[in-house]
Amino acid sequence: MASNLRTITYRLSSTPKHLLPRIAPQLVSFLAESKDAIAFDQGKGSELSILAHKLRTQLSALLQEKSVHSRWTALVLIKTYLEIGEWDAVEKSASWVRGVLQHFQRPNPLSVKHLCVLILSRVFLLSQGHQTFIREVVTPSLSAFATACLDILGTTKYSPNFTRQNDLFQSVLSCLGELIPNHATSFRPFETKLRGILKGIAFNDTVYIAESTRQKAVDFLVELHRCAPRSAGAEERKKAVKTYVTEIHDVLSILFRGVGEEHQQQSAQKNGFTSLEDDPLQDDPTPAGLPGWSGITPGFDRGIRLLQLLRAYVAVPYPDAVDLRLGLVNDLLARILSMKGPGPGEMATWEKAGKFNSAVSMEEMNELFAQLPLFHLAAIDIVLSISKVLGTASSSVMARTAEDLNWLFTTKAPSSQLRRAAYDFLSAYIRTSGPALSKDSISDLAPVMKSCCSDLVRNLEAPSQEAKSNGAPQIEAFTTSKQRQGSPKELDADLYHAAYKLLPRLFSLPSKYVASSLRVHFDQAALLLLHEEALCLSAANPPAENASILPLARRLLGSVDRLDTLTRPRQPVISSTSGTSDLDENQLPASNIDVQNTIRESRHGDPIITMSEDEPHGLAPEVQTTIMDESSDPMQDILLAQHAAMPSNGDHDSLPPDTARATKRHLEMEEEQSKRQRLDVQSLGTTTTLTSTSTVSKTYPVESGIDSEISSNIKSKAEQLAKPVATATPAQKAEAIQEVQEEQTSDDDSDFEIPPLTMNPDADLESD
């Protein structure tokens, strides 16, 4: 880093002034590699700090040079310095801001002014949140900066080389649009002048202005309402929407004068022309304060730009709540979308039907029908902006637009731009109102959906003849290549992406309302394109009448998580417990009960066999499994073991009275439970043997199919665990319980887990 800074300072001091622009790119690369030295303060005495200070001093000196080459090189390096250093560099740039602002106000080449705009906007934006710097540097500079911007923007009327200034204009408009939300008060004195200049840029027909520059002016014109005092901006914005909607209606009344409209508006006398024989025009200025226009082509340009301005009023955010006047906007959109031209070969039919005004020339009518799709496109863009801002609250506007859209697709073939806008609209419409659409609404949109599928599969190659058998294409015809996932050869890229994005949303419509013939188009497009999202949604929402494409989707896509949830759903393992003893043996579907190869330990320590319906194997016949009955518990087992270790005469006089009574009560309960179990098991016809530990051995009649080795292992395990523990002494039993507990805590991965036995204090017995 230090070497790079030394190189930059040396090259700046040793290179002749007129050669500095040649080495500027190399110096910029060296400066970009020294980001850490610029962004972080290394201390006043450090070498990097000294070199950075020396570089700033050299750049300040170059900025004051009379040579344009020196000033241009200094501006390039200052811009790079501020971009890589961010706020750490900006807080030391107060002297640079004053010097750059002076060059911006003076007559300099366009490239120098362009660099000045970029540097000043960078400083003003990075200073947000630093009130001291804003108060001392930014606020005093904004007034001079706004004045210089107005001088540049005001050259639209007299500059002979205005086309060369488009880039500078766009940079100035972008900078002002970003600064006004944070410094609206500083720009308030310039609001009126700025508004007039912006209207001239956005609606000027005398000079060429790039469309991107016009759009920047339109967006900035909407942002100017932030300069209004207090909360008056929302009211001004509301009035502006009404004014521009009225202006658009006036322009449409002039342009549509040759065709009988279903949506009638105000009389023609108010629109600025005296007779139908005159050229269409509007006087200067218009009711909205815009420059006038004359001629059919400028009239169409004016209408399109006014619609773009209306879309900006909807799309550009505002800090306060505003009234969008949806009623007025919806009425305007309905008028535009209801105007439809004749289809191919229908011109004579329309003329005979009296739909044309004979006083209007046919050239004007042809111009109208040629420009009409652009009006439809602008209207749909406004609807999309409303949907993006309001979400589900825009359902009324979108429903009306959907009706007109169906008419546009049925009367004649729409252009590629209009189809792209229609696909975007339908995607938004299904996203907001798809599940609530009725059968009639879906049927009305069928032409748009079919057009989407046709555009997607139009240029795809058909399966080869070798891939067909018995007149039906084989699945290998779809899986031989992944080329179908690529973009088509001839279709417009924007149109293709809009249709590709719409396809999966079509499967979210209620399947019971989608016609079978229409659903076939959806599935065909998804299969031919190998559209993963569309295939998964089609499998998840199968058609109401036809078969699902889940097998085909599984074959085409392979292992996909979203398909695995449908083909192999995760279900809990069903285990057999002692509760099955309550069932009749004849009710057990022995032929369908399969056994997993893993034997799990029950919570009482006895083995159980986990049963599942997934494996095709069964138990060998005559396999007996020892299963712990629900009535036994660990406390009862310990009491029985202690009772077995007592003298056979049953003398309990040597025990404490409470312990003797508790032991006697548990023994009586055990005898009653044993009798009840024997009666229940005999009634079920199941062979039952009762051990001294109240373990019930049950034999299940199951089919063969498991290995004899597994059967012997099960028997040996059951016999081992079923041995009575009455022969053990109390000390041995306590030691065994402690070992089991230690083994359980040390081996967490074991499949055989025995919970710790909790002694009941009332049943504690002491043996000899």
pLDDT tens-digit profile of 164-215?
A: 567 788 888 888 888 888 888 888 888 888 888 888 888 887 777 788 888 8
Mean pLDDT of 550-566: 77
More confident residue, 389 or 635: 389
The answer to whether residues 2 and 47 touch, using CB atoms and an 8 Å cutoff, is: yes
- The confidence score (pLDDT) of residue 734 equals 66
pLDDT tens-digit profile of 660-697?
A: 555 566 566 666 666 555 545 444 444 433 333 333 33
First to last CA, the chain: 88
pLDDT tens-digit profile of 470-500?
A: 444 444 444 444 444 444 455 678 888 999 9
Cα separation of 680 and 658, whole Å? 33
Helix (H) or strand (E) holding 608: strand 607-612
The answer to whether residues 165 and 111 touch, using CB atoms and an 8 Å cutoff, is: no
Cα separation of 337 and 422, whole Å? 12
Mean pLDDT of 589-607: 39
Residue 270 scores a pLDDT above 70:
no
Cα separation of 498 and 172, whole Å? 33
Cα separation of 766 and 768, whole Å? 7
Mean pLDDT of 276-289: 71
Cα separation of 152 and 175, whole Å? 13
Residue type for position 680: D
Residue whose C-alpha is closest to residue 510's, from 577, 439, 608: 439
The answer to whether residues 538 and 509 touch, using CB atoms and an 8 Å cutoff, is: no
More confident residue, 566 or 292: 292
Across 47-56, 299-308, 482-491, which has the greatest mean pLDDT? 299-308
- The confidence score (pLDDT) of residue 667 equals 63
Q: With pLDDT > 90 as the criterion, what percentage of the chain qualifies? A: 10
What's CA 72's distance to the chain center, in Å? 44
Token output for 334: 């309905």
Report pTM: 0.67
Residues of the chain with CATH 1.25.10.10: 2-227
The set of long-range contacts for 114-119, using a CB threshold of 8 Å and a minimum separation of 24, is 114/167, 114/168, 114/171, 115/72, 115/75, 115/76, 115/79, 116/75, 117/168, 117/171, 117/172, 117/175, 118/79, 118/171, 119/75, 119/78, 119/79, 119/82
- The rounded mean pLDDT for the chain is 72
More confident residue, 718 or 112: 112
Q: Which residues contact 580 (CB under 8 A, 6 or more apart)?
A: 588
- The confidence score (pLDDT) of residue 206 equals 77
Residue type for position 444: D
* Domain 2-227: assigned CATH number: 1.25.10.10
- The confidence score (pLDDT) of residue 134 equals 86
What letter does residue 514 receive in the DSSP assignment? Answer: S
Q: Where does residue 352 rank: exposed (0-12), middle (13-18), buried (19+ CB within 10 A)?
A: exposed
pLDDT tens-digit profile of 444-474?
A: 899 899 999 998 888 675 444 444 444 444 4
- The confidence score (pLDDT) of residue 666 equals 58
Cα separation of 32 and 4, whole Å? 9
pLDDT tens-digit profile of 403-434?
A: 888 877 776 667 888 889 999 999 999 998 88
More confident residue, 193 or 162: 193
Cα separation of 578 and 628, whole Å? 7
Lowest mean pLDDT among 317-321, 391-395, 515-519, 726-730: 726-730
Lowest mean pLDDT among 179-193, 328-342, 570-584, 610-624: 610-624
Beta bridge partner(s), residue 541: none
Lowest mean pLDDT among 276-280, 314-318, 538-542: 276-280
- The confidence score (pLDDT) of residue 571 equals 63
pLDDT tens-digit profile of 97-150?
A: 888 898 888 888 888 888 999 999 888 888 888 888 888 888 888 889 999 888
Residue 765 scores a pLDDT above 80:
no
Using alpha carbons only, give the angle 303, 306, 310 rounded to the nearest 5 degrees: 135
Residue 381 scores a pLDDT above 90:
yes
pLDDT band (50, 70, 90) for residue 375? very high
